[in-house]
Amino acid sequence: QVQLQESGPGLVKPSQTLSLTCTVSGGSISSGGYYWSWIRQHPGKGLEWIGYIYYSGSTYYNPSLKSRVTISVDTSKNQFSLKLSSVTAADTAVYYCAREDTAIDYWGQGTLVTVSS
């Protein structure tokens, strides 16, 4: 059973960089076949796909966030990470990491990140 767990600060100041890490257990990122994604959900709102990374390091980002997003992978630790720069209050959301193929079959529990001074 694959499990994903997000970790990182729950509070980030405006203009700073949001950094989250997802630790995967029960399966290996480097085995291939899946994309490892970040998705967010603004409070009381719908789901927004942020982007994904493949074990090889190839990435694809949501065009609306592309200029501020970096997703990286550390296969030795079976982790992947999200960095979102120049955050504002509009980036306050629950951030989920997930395993993606053509559907998302495994999700982390989500972590609330609040952008506030």
Partner 1 sequence: DIQMTQSPSSLSASVGDRVTITCQASQDISNYLNWYQQKPGKAPKLLIYDASNLETGVPSRFSGSGSGTDFTFTISSLQPEDIATYYCQQYDNLRVLTFGGGTKVEIK
- Provide the binding-site residues for partner 1, judged by CB under 8 A: 35, 37, 39, 46-49, 52, 60, 62-63, 96, 98, 100-105, 107-110
Tokens representing residue 84 in the block: 């979102």
Q: How far is the CB of 17 from partner 1 (least distance, A)?
A: 24
Tokens representing residue 46 in the block: 């719908």
The residue (of 90 and 103) whose beta carbon lies closer to partner 1 is: 103
The residue (of 10 and 63) whose beta carbon lies closer to partner 1 is: 63
Q: How far is the CB of 45 from partner 1 (least distance, A)?
A: 8
Q: How far is the CB of 76 from partner 1 (least distance, A)?
A: 24
For the chain, list the strands marked E by DSSP: 3-7, 11-12, 18-25, 35-41, 47-53, 59-61, 69-74, 79-84, 93-100, 104-107, 111-115
The residue (of 85 and 107) whose beta carbon lies closer to partner 1 is: 107
